[in-house]
A and B are shown apart, each in its own frame.
Chain A
Amino acid sequence: MSSVAQKKGFGAQVWDFLTTVDHKKIAILYLASGTLFFAIAGFEAILMRIQLMVPNNDFMSAGLFNELLTMHGTTMLFLAATPIIFGFMNAIVPLQIGARDVAFPFLNSLGFWMFFFGAVFLHLSFFLGGAPDAGWTSYASLSLYSPGHGIDFYVLGLQISGAGTLISGLNFIVTIITMRAPGMTYMRMPLFTWTTLVSSSLILFAFPPLTVGLFLMLVDRMFGANFFDHTMGGNTIVWEHLFWIFGHPEVYILVLPAFGLFSEIIPVFARKRLFGYSSMVFATILIGFLGFMVWAHHMFTTGMGATANAIFAVATMAIAVPTGMKVFNWILTIWGGSIKVTVPMLYALAFIPSFVAGGVTGVMQATAPLDYQLHDSYFIVAHFHYVIVGGIVTALFGSAHFYWPIIFNRALSEKLGVLTFWVFFIGFHLTFFLQHFLGLMGMPRRVFTYMADQGWDAFNMISTIGAIMMGVGVVLLVINVLLSIKSPPVNRRDYWGDGRSLEWALETPLPFYNFKQTPLVRGFDPYWIEKEEGNEEGMVYAEPLGDIHMPNNSIIPLGMTIGTFIAAFGALYSPWGDQAIAGTADSLSKAGSLTLLIGGLGITVACMIIRSVKDDLGYHVTKAEVEQTERALAEFRAKGGKR
């Protein structure tokens, strides 16, 4: 029965991953595809830095530079950071709350495939006539007039992958609210679960405005509407509002789970209870709320008027308060702890000053008058890379080391990890620290080259060297991952020896049902409590051993997604679009376009009908099968993890 103890053929493995609804396998899919897109976007960044290494460089054309900067930003935020974070949520949250799977396993699979096919669709643009080139914000005043299909790929690709993210977000809200084990009250939930809940709620409220904006952009570009065309009575600024009403919470959607991951790492290696747990929860919720009240600070220079600028400036500065609470809580957790400096802890220690630097420059930009000076300069580039690399990427790398034993039953090498950390960390500061000063010296962002002797040459050269170091760091991490495949399995619970929350109480490799009996949670840090009381099993149970209800695998999510993927091509090659009529973009005949649109959506609807009509009630793992699986796993661990 156990998926671990039985060896499967290659075809069966592939089929298993295509149809899986198991949160642990979907986590692996998210992590793998997120890493792929992270590598692609990182490579694009290095190409851009090579272009900017010396003044008047002709390594690439201006058009290609625009495409790379757009795809770098879009990919990193939507297709790299988001899926990797969803990977960790999938892998860890059900274990932290004592659940056997997420609330809607079918939707979990659907969410992944929607994200993945949206991402693939967006990247096909490189091979089908040029990538989007209007920046990740794709301001309508620019993007409506972009020739070719680049922006169409952006709009449709993000529409599909955004639907996937929304579905997954809803799934996690319901999972955390309804699937907690007995005794796991809200104020006993680990911080990563809390931040997942808040960040999923932000997804719920923030993605609909993006969907609306993208839909209006879609009909504007591909079906001749004029929502954002000021010459036809539209309003081009409305796109900017819709985008940032989504875009600002998006930043918190990404950074809150990163905060949560560090709030898990720091107490384990400081070997102390998390300082100020309830204030951490309060700060998370407050950041979530305030995140919706500040979108216009991205638009200070569009001329909204002094009143609006002043109000949004103050609201923005207010966010520094709950964020500051969190920083002090982390420092006070470390303070006086018996600190073990492992690789995850190294990342956590590096995160605090780097993220604070990014936060401080953020407050500087919140000052509306100063923002007129900083707007669209390299200072902005430096700021958001300090927040995103210093805050989110360090969290992802650190948690990869931290949670690898649970996810893969292997450990990443500490030695190589320390080397990776230093190469990446030094490279990161080399790249972005000097960009603050480049910005203050007047270098605008999103330029493909610059004149010599403006005092920018040396800093740009150093910045490029740093970017290459970051690239080397990522390659080292990937080598570490590949080496871990051949390393001996860990086969134990509590790999780091100081685990506190429920996920560490489980012995790896996990059975597919996670918990043979639902655990009973007796307080905050449940595994720590059990360890203190000398409980060898790591948990007490809330129910006797019995039958377990599990969901069936399904290929239908993949079918639904392929339908939308085909329909997207129908919209893309629509003959009604402005660019198609102007002859700057190739298009299909009316019949061809409609066939793809209706046929594609037809497949999706057909899959939905099949799903609705065919009852899928899951299956029961009998008590005998559970006992047999547990025995097989114990034998597997005793033999050192060899089949």
Chain B
Amino acid sequence: MAHDTSFETRSHVQHEYDREQNAKYMKNQVTQFAIMIFLTLVAFAMTAAGYAPNFIRPLVLLLAGVQVVQQLYSFMHMEDKTAPHIGIVQFFIWSGALIAFTFFVAFTTIIWW
């Protein structure tokens, strides 16, 4: 129930352990964020350098795909193995992605207009 506030007493060891875990977690988030910024920079740099469009397009799409996965796993908590029904969540997200990808591939390759 939402109106039942629960209190929890934590030992000193537990407190230290939590702090350490939180620090690790924060470090991971910052690293992921830095990687995302770097990937975005790479995308912009490629365009600015004026490579052939047929080279840039698939590469930028690939980088975008990597960023989506990073977003899902590090910032939207899909990496959290202990979350309730996380397997189902992953299954649904990846099946949705697979279905959408099928449409994408079908429209860009075999359906000619």
Contacts and interface: CB of A to CB of B under 8 A. Distances in A.
B99 A178 contact: no
A615 B85 CA distance: 26
B2 A178 contact: no
Interface in A218-254: 235, 237, 241, 245
Contacts, number: 38
Interface residues of B, number: 18
Q: For chain A, which range describes its interface: under 10, 10 to 19, 20 to 34, or 35 or more residues? A: 20 to 34
A617 B3 CA distance: 9
Interface stretch (A94-102, A289-297, A404-412): A289-297
B2 A304 contact: no
A249 to B, nearest CB: 9
Given A177-B85, A615-B2, A292 B99 contact: yes
Interface string B1-17: 11100000000000000
B106 A308 contact: yes
Interface in A288-333: 289, 292-293, 296, 304-305, 307-308, 311
A617 B112 CA distance: 54
B110 A293 contact: no
A205 B96 contact: yes
Interface string B77-104: 0000000110010001001100100110
A205 B3 CA distance: 35
A307 B85 contact: no
B111 A304 contact: yes
B55 interface: no
A292 B102 contact: yes
Contacts of A177: 85, 88
B113 interface: yes
Contacts of A292: 99, 102
A293 B96 contact: no
Given A177-B88, A292-B99, A292-B102, A617 B113 contact: no
B111 A308 contact: yes
B88 A293 contact: no
Interface string A491-521: 0000000000000000000000000000000
A201 interface: yes
Interface string A153-190: 00000000000000000000000011000000000000
A293 B102 contact: yes
A178 B1 contact: no
A245 B111 contact: no
A13 to B, nearest CB: 31
Given A305-B110, A311-B110, A617 B1 contact: yes
A205 B1 contact: no
B2 A205 contact: no
A177 B86 CA distance: 11
Nearest to A173: B92
B92 A201 contact: yes
Given A177-B85, A177-B88, A308-B106, A289 B95 contact: yes
Interface of B: 1-3, 84-85, 88, 92, 95-96, 99, 102-103, 106-107, 110-113
14 contacts: A201-B95, A204-B92, A235-B113, A292-B99, A293-B102, A296-B106, A304-B110, A304-B112, A305-B110, A305-B111, A305-B112, A308-B106, A617-B1, A617-B2
Interface of A: 177-178, 201, 204-205, 235, 237, 241, 245, 289, 292-293, 296, 304-305, 307-308, 311, 615, 617
A-B pairs with lowest CB-CB distance, top 8: A308-B110, A292-B99, A305-B112, A307-B110, A308-B111, A304-B111, A177-B88, A205-B99
